[in-house]
Amino acid sequence: MAAQRTSVEQRQQPTIFFVIPCYNEIEQLPITAPVLQKKISALKSSHLIAEDSRVLFVDDGSKDGTWQYIRQLNKTDASLFHGVKLAHNRGHQNALLAGLMTALSQGCDAAISLDADLQDDINVFDEFVKQYVSGAEIVYGVRSSRNKDTWFKRNTAEAFYALNAWMGAETIRDHADYRLMGRAALQALSEYGEVNLFLRGIVPELGFSTAVVTYERGEREAGESKYPLKKMISFAVEGITSFSVKPLHFVTGMGMLSILVGIGMFIYVIVSWANNNVVSGWGSIMCSLWLIGGLLMLSMGIIGEYVGKIYLEAKHRPRYVIETEI
């Protein structure tokens, strides 16, 4: 018990970095920055977090004035607003990782990751920190409901989590990238070197003590969503193929089924020929060809996804390049 009290005492008033990936967020940042400034000031005043806690914006190669605005924020309040600029657009997951690793290198006790649009309720920061102080190394922000989503968005999300679970990829249901990670968890994350990043699957795999905080997700106030349907599908494929080989097993099973169907058809043809009951089977032949051709193309596509990932991993290219920091 004494050791546990010491551990909790050491977590009092932690230095928290609020890591926010940004891509073309010039419309949203003037709304986001003042809200964060007010909230973090309140957290400091209530002695929940340390005075040197800060916001770390990560510009993911934006093409608008996002970086210029981050520099302006830094000039206005250098103790609170810091920034990292990536040399090229590397995608949300890589930008988030760059921010988390920068926070780790700069001596944070924990980092809270969230999106620039503030759809994730920042009023639960308090509960995040309290769970961390109580001993949780990872705290997940989980949506309490999806009532505000469209029918399509709600059902595709349900399908995404169900498919991941069936494929064996461990994810937290209704959790995106809104979470707190303590220093030990960040250090463990830094040891994962894969190029194909799917943090929603990697973080639960880390282990450590965890907690869940529920919240109601809001609406984006400005700008456009950075996850249209095309990116959502790509993200789902990334998650499944990064953590499961079940699609390859599926291909094997379908191949075996096709062979059995082929043997059955061969026996049927022999029996029909023996009984002088040969019927022109142009339609059935064409259907079979299309079915087998489709299965082959699907199988090659699935295998190609894995071969492509092996190709990217084998090159050992850096996941991101930091151009400058402020």
Task: State yes or no: pLDDT of 242 exceeds 80.
Answer: no
Lowest-confidence segment of 69-83, 95-109, 170-184, 289-303 by average pLDDT: 289-303
Nearest one of 205, 191, 299 to 252, comparing CA atoms: 299
Q: Give me the pLDDT at residue 216, please.
A: 87
Is the pLDDT higher at 164 or at 175?
175
- 255-286 pLDDT, tens per residue? 667 766 766 766 766 776 677 765 666 546 75
Is the pLDDT higher at 257 or at 79?
79
Mention every residue, 6+ apart, whose C-beta is less than 8 A from residue 12: 133
Task: State yes or no: pLDDT of 166 exceeds 80.
Answer: no
Q: Give me the pLDDT at residue 241, please.
A: 62
Is the pLDDT higher at 210 or at 166?
210
Is the pLDDT higher at 213 or at 250?
213
CB atoms within 10 A of CB 90: 21
**CATH 3.90.550.10 applies to domain 2-244+319-325:** yes
The predicted model gives 122-148 an average pLDDT of 90
Q: Give me the pLDDT at residue 188, please.
A: 95
Q: Give me the pLDDT at residue 30, please.
A: 95
Q: Give me the pLDDT at residue 4, please.
A: 43
Q: Give me the pLDDT at residue 3, please.
A: 42
Point out which residues pair with 112 in neighbouring strands. 18, 180
Distance CA 105, CA 100 (A): 9
Domain ranges for the chain, please list them. Answer: 2-244+319-325, 246-315
- 185-195 pLDDT, tens per residue? 999 999 988 87
The predicted model gives 6-27 an average pLDDT of 86
